[in-house]
Amino acid sequence: MEAVLTKPVKETVKTTGADAVLRVLVEEQTEFIFGYPGGAIMPVYDALYHYQDKIHHVLNRHEQGCIHAAQGYARATGRVGVVMATSGPGATNLITGIADAMIDSTPLVCITGQVGSHLLGSDAFQETDIISISMPVTKWNFQVTRAEELPAALARAFYIARSGRPGPVLIDITKDAQFGDLDFLYKKCQEIRSYKPVPKLDPNQVKKAADLINEAQRPFVLFGQGVILGKAEKEFKAFVEKTGIPSAWTLLGLSALPTDHPLNVGMLGMHGNYGPNKLTNECDVLIAIGMRFDDRVTGNLASYAKQARVIHLDIDPAEINKNVKVDVPVLGDCKESLTELTNQVRMNSHAKWLELFRKHDALEQETVIQDEIKPATGDMKMGEVIEEINKTTKGDAILVTDVGQHQMMACRYTQFNQSKSNITSGGLGTMGFCLPAALGAKLGAPERDVIAVIGDGGFQMTIQELGTIFQTKAAVKIVILNNSFLGMVRQWQQLFFDKRYSSTELENPDFVEIAQGYGIKGQSISERSALPEAIETMMKHDGSYLLEVHVGKEDNVFPMVPSGASVSDIRLS
């Protein structure tokens, strides 16, 4: 792809490749670099010494922590997260986070050092072909071997990462390119020939979609993260309010519409709400907006919404007809698409259809939810911890979750009033995501409360990032829901493998003492009566805080769509 660049904005400056990297980051208004130094990236770190008044470097304790922190920052701010690591193991330790960012459409620019260009292919110390390794999980990658290539390569990297459907980009820089000289002149990239990140909106497709919606008796909206990425929350709200269509969210779409909005009918998917799953197979028009019909939402595709006409609004042509056959595709930026669509649809209410969702809600409330958020006896439950957090935050906090039972409980029960408030690993399901991502989110949104809700298993995967929280003094509130199990795997073992709990029970350390070793205050509770005061103490504490809550060891998450089943087969118990 050949970059088309804007006119020069400054005179050239004679400098080094390493210094050029920092100059580009300043031009791109980079606030934070999440990084870990090493031999092959040392020239850039030496140059960084002179930019400490312009860019904050966050020294994570592991490269996986670097990239998850950058993801948390990007998701909380909508800006490009920047990551830096050395060659070999430094670069390969980023791969899990890069894959996570790719599938969850998170904009990142990852900068890795590399051995000198004369050593490429020689199996030199800490040499790894990170370009080949990262190619399947990046939106674009490029290896820089000459200093003069750096400004254009990095300009292109930022443009590709943030444009269209966002994603991660990796720039690998050989050590001699970092030491080399160049005449620096930065030209921000605004276009690349052959790369068209935003399809042109087709008015005919918008009209076809509007006609279907206007004729529908039981329309149903599924909204995903595309609404948030497209900064189209206002336009989406206007669309659903004009049409009166019940709307359900994917895991990453959560918070695009306030949780208590009367047309928000809940969560889709394997552990989503009863009504949205059941009624997917009863709607007559299905309107998917900025979501990709992944398997956790659809269940068995052979029986998914076969009765419905499907409208799909998306910015990525690759998602159209990938999993679900679409009757009316509407390609384009959903901010524009929704505006045009809203102009053409009729005012409606669909009150009887919405009431059917409410009847399913009532059944789920009686069968599942009441016992989760207000249990009368027994061990504490994850749902009641989330409910207590809701009382304190009143829906205004950023919630960051790891992966597992606690993730499903937190996403099901947390109240959100504003967008960019739910940060989790959706498509890849990366344990260890939460703690560093919460750090990145807090640095990106220091004015907001950031609460990391995490399981005892995932916490120990990146527990070393307590050191980064300590050093940055980021006021992250950490809630460990400790059931001494790898809970989601244990649930499947209970339900589908005759309770053969193979390698899922955990013997855990004293998490509070570990946190105290990092200068982080905390407490551990196991009694229900202590919960309200413990949450209040955590939220009022000036600084980071760790609260460990011991919950039932063998509690399960319901509703549940069994693997391979239809969404209509969702179980309440």
Per-residue pLDDT of the chain (573 residues; tens, 9 = 90+): 445 444 445 689 999 999 999 999 999 999 999 999 999 999 999 999 999 999 999 999 999 999 999 999 999 999 999 999 999 999 999 999 999 999 999 999 999 999 999 999 999 999 999 999 999 999 999 999 999 999 999 999 999 999 999 999 999 999 999 999 999 999 999 999 999 999 999 999 999 999 999 999 999 999 999 999 999 999 999 999 999 999 999 999 999 999 999 999 999 999 999 999 999 999 999 999 999 999 999 999 999 999 999 999 999 999 999 999 999 999 999 999 999 999 999 999 999 999 999 999 999 999 999 999 999 899 999 999 999 999 999 999 999 999 999 999 999 999 999 999 999 999 999 999 999 999 999 999 999 999 999 999 999 999 999 999 999 999 999 999 999 999 999 999 999 999 999 999 999 999 999 999 999 999 999 999 999 999 999 999 999 999 999 999 999 999 999 989 999 999 999
* The pLDDT value given to residue 376: 84
One domain, residues 79 and 164: yes
Length of the chain: 573
Does residue 506 lie within any of the structural domains?
yes
**Tokens of residue 552, six digits:** 């039932």
User: What pLDDT does 11 receive?
Assistant: 82
Is 175 marked active-site?
A: yes
Helix residue spans in 365-431 (DSSP H): 370-373, 382-393, 405-413
User: Does 366 fall in a domain?
Assistant: no
Residue 326 and residue 295 share a domain: yes
Separation of alpha carbons 390 and 240, rounded Å: 25
Q: Within this chain, do residues 451 and 304 fall inside the same structural domain, yes or no?
A: no
125 in catalytic set: yes
Question: What's the CA gap between 347 and 338, in Å, rounded?
Answer: 15
Query: Would you give the DSSP letter of residue 162?
Result: H
CATH of residue 499's domain is: 3.40.50.970
Task: State how many domains the chain has.
Answer: 3
Q: What is the pLDDT of residue 8?
A: 47
Contact 425, 373 (CB under 8 A): no
Judge if 33 and 149 occupy the same domain: yes
331: domain range? 203-356
Residues 6 or more apart from 352 whose CB is under 8 A from it? none
Residue 219 sits in the same domain as residue 151: no
The catalytic position among 125, 179, 496, 497 is: 125
Q: What are phi and psi of 496, to 5 degrees?
A: -125, -5
Residue 123 — φ and ψ, nearest 5°?
Answer: 60, 40
Of 139, 175, 237, 420, the catalytic one is 175
DSSP 556: -
DSSP letters spanning 400-442: EE-SSHHHHHHHHH---SSSS-EE---SS--TT-HHHHHHHHH
Tokens of 338: 């929704």
Active site residue 63: yes
For residues 308 and 434, membership in a common domain is answered with no
Active-site residue, from 28, 34, 63, 433: 63
Of 27, 126, 191, 231, the active-site residue reads 126
Please check whether residues 465 and 530 belong to one and the same domain. yes
Q: Identify whether residues 463 and 435 lie together within a single domain.
A: yes
